[in-house]
Amino acid sequence: KQEVTQIPAALSVPEGENLVLNCSFTDSAIYNLQWFRQDPGKGLTSLLLIQSSQREQTSGRLNASLDKSSGRSTLYIAASQPGDSATYLCAVRVRSSNTGKLIFGQGTTLQVKP
């Protein structure tokens, strides 16, 4: 059974710091991994999608890496800003029927202080 774990559960950093959020999964048989951002009381916004054959994806100040064999992904945020404060969720897409399903970690709540 696939399990997704995110460490740390919460993180507080001063503005401008570079930071890394970690995600691990127990079964390497995944189709892809997706990082989301969730603001309080809001929905999920997709940040990056990494296919199982890829090693990393970049979007602006965000860089996500994937090491499928070790069951790990990291989300790197460069030069953090107060507007980056949110909960970050990683999810892996696993085999279930013919379309798969997303299994989520419990998230890392990030606070960036001005």
Partner 1 sequence: DTAVSQTPKYLVTQMGNDKSIKCEQNLGHDTMYWYKQDSKKFLKIMFSYNNKELIINETVPNRFSPKSPDKAHLNLHINSLELGDSAVYFCASSQDSIYYGYTFGSGTRLTVV
CA distances, 110 to each of 19, 30, 53, 73 (Å): 10, 26, 29, 17
- Give the CA radius of gyration of the chain: 14
Options 3, 42, 59, 61; binder of partner 1; rule CB under 8 A: 42
Options 28, 44, 56, 62; binder of partner 1; rule CB under 8 A: 44
Cβ–Cβ < 8 Å for 85, 112: yes
Task: State yes or no: residue 25 binds partner 1 (CB under 8 A).
Answer: no
Options 21, 90, 91, 92; binder of partner 1; rule CB under 8 A: 91
Residue 112's φ and ψ, nearest 5 degrees, are: -110, 115
Task: State yes or no: residue 43 binds partner 1 (CB under 8 A).
Answer: yes
Residues forming the site for partner 1 (CB under 8 A): 31-32, 34, 36, 38, 41-46, 49, 51, 87, 89, 91, 93, 96-104, 106-107
